[in-house]
């Protein structure tokens, strides 16, 4: 499998990318948008690199994280700049026709790109564990928090009220939630542990907040549900049964996109691509294969 790596100049700096399977030119490339904001491509590539046995697959670290440049200008951390970044990467790599797979924050980025830019050549989109309404996400999170042990709930609410979310006590309480709704594997996959140090907490705090269930950043008003009907390409919405991107919400988003498909991974939470990798890859492959046929 051929691998090509390099950098693309985007607003604010250079973004690192990895292109796998470039030799498989007969099928439309897939570009993968990682979560966060401020996470890295590594966990997704660990699970999905094998898709490059039949088509080119592009992974990249969004500006500020991973192998990409790490500027410190807070003004860079806004959805519109990340949308432009995606457009620049497509242009630089000559991705005239492409499939998009976004995970978590990557689904917010994908929706903004598709709705606001109406880009040509996007043949399909996969919304993996989507957050397309921050308010709805918070409502689901509050419901999940209410199911945690009482002392954990009290610890979380106390530190959020006091503004001490960087304390060890809050971080430990947070892990209880994460072990139920983010990744249910114990121990965590090595790639998750290793990639953590390559992420950028400043971006996460600026755009989202101190934890998955406490949106305080500039994404806290994000809501593309009124615009999802504008997405007219083949679309797939997937999540885990125990996902913080609740199945009920994921199915609601799917209902707003014409002819979109929906699938739940029964033994997963937010990281189904690591929790049920074979089932995840099979689902993605089948969807892309069908999208390839219908776009010809």
Q: For residue 11, count CB atoms less than 10 angstroms from its CB and return exposed for 0-12, middle for 13-18, buried for 19 or more.
A: middle
215 DSSP 8-state letter? -
C-alpha Rg value of the chain to the nearest Å? 18
CB 237 within 8 A of CB 102: no
CB-based contacts of 140, cutoff 8 Å, min separation 6: 244, 245, 246, 248, 249
Strand order in the sheet with 235-240: 3-10, 13-20, 57-60, 30-33, 98-103, 122-128, 235-240, 261-265
CA angle 146, 152, 155 (to 5 degrees): 110
CB atoms within 10 A of CB 123: 19
Report how far apart, in Å, the C-alpha atoms of 93 and of each of 64, 110, 118 are: 20, 18, 19
Report how far apart, in Å, the C-alpha atoms of 206 and of each of 55, 240, 244 are: 35, 27, 21
Residue 116 annotated among the catalytic residues of the structure? no
CA torsion through residues 158, 164, 169, 170, sign: positive
Residue 179 annotated among the catalytic residues of the structure? no
Determine which one of 104, 235, 268, 269 is catalytic: 104
Ranges of H-type helices in 236-276: 247-256, 272-275
Measured between alpha carbons, how far is 48 from 126 in angstroms, rounded to an integer? 13
Determine which one of 42, 61, 243, 292 is catalytic: 243
Residue 124 annotated among the catalytic residues of the structure? no
Cα pseudo-dihedral 211, 198, 50, 242, rounded to 10: -10
Which residues belong to the active site?
A: 104, 243, 270
């Amino acid at each position: 499998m051929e691998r090509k790596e390099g950098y693309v100049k985007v607003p604010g700096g250079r973004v690192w990318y990895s292109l796998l399977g470039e030799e498989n030119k007969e099928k439309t490339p897939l570009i993968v948008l990682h979560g966060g904001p401020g996470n890295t491509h590594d966990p997704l590539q660990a699970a999905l690199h094998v898709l490059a046995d039949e088509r080119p697959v592009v992974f990249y670290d969004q500006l500020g994280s991973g192998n990409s440049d790490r500027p410190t200008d807070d003004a860079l951390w806004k959805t519109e700049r990340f949308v432009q970044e995606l457009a620049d990467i497509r242009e630089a790599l000559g991705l005239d026709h492409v499939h998009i797979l976004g995970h978590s924050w990557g689904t917010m980025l994908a929706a903004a790109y598709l709705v606001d830019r109406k880009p040509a050549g996007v043949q399909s989109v996969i919304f993996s564990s989507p957050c397309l309404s921050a308010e709805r996400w918070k409502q689901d999170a509050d419901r999940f928090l209410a199911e945690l042990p009482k002392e954990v709930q009290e610890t979380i609410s106390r530190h959020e009220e006091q503004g001490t979310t960087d304390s060890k006590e809050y971080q430990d309480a947070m892990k209880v939630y994460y072990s139920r709704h983010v990744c249910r594997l114990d121990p965590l996959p090595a790639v998750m542990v290793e990639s953590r140090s390559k992420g950028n907490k400043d971006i996460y705090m600026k755009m989202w907040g101190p934890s998955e269930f406490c949106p305080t950043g500039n994404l806290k008003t994000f809501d593309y549900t009124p615009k999802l009907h504008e997405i007219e390409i083949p679309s797939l919405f997937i999540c885990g049964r125990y996902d913080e991107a609740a199945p009920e919400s994921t199915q609601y988003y799917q209902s707003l996109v014409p002819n979109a498909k929906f699938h739940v991974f029964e033994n997963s939470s937010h990281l189904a691509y690591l929790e049920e990798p074979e089932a995840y890859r099979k689902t993605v492959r089948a969807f892309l294969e069908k999208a390839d046929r219908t776009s010809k």
